[in-house]
């Protein structure tokens, strides 16, 4: 249920999840597993999994770069956001590239792909701070057979929007990776164009992916469609949700929100940073509401489709990395 306040309704927190125990993915990604699709939580639909590699220093490495070698995926998309460091990607669709700080790679596995991800050779040799997010986004049944593709979203190409507090003063910023961000939800803040900032990432279903930074001890509000499920990843600092001091999240915590009825219109979320400021990844999307059957790197709608995915992979139908 949403809470009514004046002329606005505020999306209510369902749970602030304890920080998980980190583990290694390959030898290059020390991640906090924030959630995964095997739990069957409807609040995370259309998202399947979220791993957060908090900032960690890697010593210079003259040997082979750290990372994860060749492995398959089918039936969903992987979104990797670079907060510090560099990741080089290659896949069997012929795509590849290196994302640097602020960049995003968006890989559609679709009907099957093999890929690999390593620290870039340049980063490996120099060493330095490394921090990444990887998000798995489900595909609806009608799109699971789409050809594999790759989007490189450069930091400088993504809209960066100023956030304002109740007095219309600058209080933070949001980078719109995908979806639409409603500008100036505060009437005192400056209006711009059609009042929407649009991310350059293309999606199969309606999704918002926003990278939010809030100045110390400042509050901002963002608007979310009532048809969307909503998740927040608190990455740095403390953040109070909807001015409720009992709903305070710290670094490395996931916030899930109550599921709305799907009515038209928008809810709001008020975010108040602590004394060190806050950095948050906001994920929202219309639920797909289809069966989710996962087996390792494959996510389909039935066990029969999983068995076929395994057969296709073993038969070499996902191609090869050249």
| Three-class HEC string of 156-219 | HHCCEEEEECCCCCEEEEEEEEECEEECCCCCCCCCCCCCEEECCECCCCCEEEEEEEECCCCE
Closest CA to 231 of 137, 99, 295: 137
Q: Are strands 128-138 and 47-58 parallel, antiparallel or unpaired?
A: antiparallel
Q: Is 250 annotated as a binding residue?
A: no
Cα–Cα distance between 101 and 281 in angstroms, integer?
15
Q: Is 73 annotated as a binding residue?
A: yes
Q: Is 30 annotated as a binding residue?
A: no
Cα–Cα distance between 195 and 193 in angstroms, integer?
5
Q: Is 170 annotated as a binding residue?
A: no
Q: Are strands 104-108 and 76-84 parallel, antiparallel or unpaired?
A: antiparallel
What angle is formed at CA 93 by the lines to CA 88 and CA 98, rounded to 5 degrees? 15
Q: Which residues are annotated as a binding site for Fe cation?
A: 71, 73, 115, 117
Q: Which residues are annotated as a binding site?
A: 71, 73, 115, 117
């Amino acid at each position: 249920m949403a809470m009514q306040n004046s002329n606005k309704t505020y999306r209510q927190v369902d749970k602030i999840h304890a920080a998980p125990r980190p583990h290694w993915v390959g030898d290059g990604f020390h991640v906090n597993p924030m959630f995964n699709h095997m739990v069957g939580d409807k609040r995370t639909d259309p998202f399947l999994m979220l791993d957060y590699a908090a900032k960690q220093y890697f010593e210079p490495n003259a040997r082979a770069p750290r990372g994860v070698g060749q492995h398959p995926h089918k039936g969903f998309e992987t979104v990797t956001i670079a907060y510090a460091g560099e990741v080089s990607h290659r896949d069997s669709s012929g795509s590849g590239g290196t994302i640097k700080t602020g960049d995003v790679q968006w890989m559609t596995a679709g009907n099957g792909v093999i890929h690999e991800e390593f620290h870039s050779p340049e980063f490996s040799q120099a060493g330095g701070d490394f921090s990444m997010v990887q998000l798995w986004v489900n595909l609806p049944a009608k799109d699971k057979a789409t050809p594999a593709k790759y989007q490189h979203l450069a930091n400088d190409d993504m809209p960066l929007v100023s956030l304002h507090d109740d007095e219309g003063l600058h209080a933070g910023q949001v980078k719109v990776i995908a979806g639409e961000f409603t500008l100036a939800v505060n009437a005192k803040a400056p209006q711009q164009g059609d009042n929407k900032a649009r991310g350059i990432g293309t999606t199969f279903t309606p999704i918002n992916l926003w990278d939010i930074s809030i100045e110390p001890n400042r509050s901002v509000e963002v608007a979310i469609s009532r048809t969307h499920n909503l998740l927040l990843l608190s990455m740095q600092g403390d953040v109070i949700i909807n001015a409720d001091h009992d709903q305070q999240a710290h670094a490395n915590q996931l916030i899930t929100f109550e599921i709305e009825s799907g009515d038209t219109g928008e809810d709001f979320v008020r975010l108040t940073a602590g004394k060190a400021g806050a950095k948050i990844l906001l994920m929202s999307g219309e639920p797909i509401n289809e069966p989710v059957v996962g087996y390792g790197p494959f996510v389909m709608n039935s066990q029969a489709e999983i068995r076929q995915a395994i057969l296709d992979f073993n038969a070499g139908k996902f191609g090869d990395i050249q």
